[in-house]
Structure 1
Amino acid sequence: MNTLLVEYPECLPDSARLSRQEFEHAMRFALASKLFELGRISSGQAAALVPTDRYSFLKSLHQVGVPAVDWDDDEFAEEISNA
């Protein structure tokens, strides 16, 4: 596994009203959700980056305004017809 070191000012967690652990989790989630939104990584890969399970990751995406699915009209109609 590779490691990415992100330096941040000590005051940032306090400014965000989060503990250091909560802040670092939020940073991992922000990165994972953006990469998922851009289609660069799968939901499973994003969940592993957080780390959390895939269901919890997908369920939490609304908190940052990212849709869990991004279907066009045809894909949506096909999904509904297969339900």
Structure 2
Amino acid sequence: MKTITVNIPDNLDIDNNEFIMTAASKMYEQGKLSLGQAAQLAGLTKRAFTELLEKYDVSVFNFPATDLASDIANA
């Protein structure tokens, strides 16, 4: 496991959990992490992470239409 240290200036009103959730949700939105990976990064269950995605304006249904078409064709 990798460890990243981020220095957050005292004048910013953000806590560690909010920072991690923001990073995890953005990386999920960009397709860099799966739902499970993002939830693990945030230290949450998949269900809890999914429920919090709305707060960060990220849809749980985050995949390209081409992937959906491919999934339907392969079903």
Is the TM value for this pair above 0.5? yes
Aligned residues: 69
User: If the length of structure 2 is used for normalisation, what is the TM-score?
Assistant: 0.79
1:75: which partner in 2? 68
**Structure 1 runs of 4+ off > 3 angstroms?**
none
The DSSP-based 3-state class of the residue aligned with 1:9 is: coil
Alpha-carbon distance in structure 2 between the residues aligned to 1:35 and 1:26: 14
> Cα deviation per residue 1:36-60 (whole Å; 9 max; x = unaligned)?
0000110110011111101110111
Q: Which residue of 2 aligns with 1:54?
A: 46
- TM-score where L is the length of structure 1: 0.72
Q: Which residue of 2 aligns with 1:9?
A: 9
- The structure whose RCO (Cα within 8 Å, separation 6+) is larger is 2
In structure 2, the partner of 1:28 is 20
C-alpha displacement of 1:24: 0.4
Identical-residue share of aligned pairs (%):
29
CA distance, structure 2, for counterparts of residue 75 and residue 40 of structure 1: 18
Query: How far apart, in 1, do the equivalents of 2:39 and 2:10 lie?
Result: 26
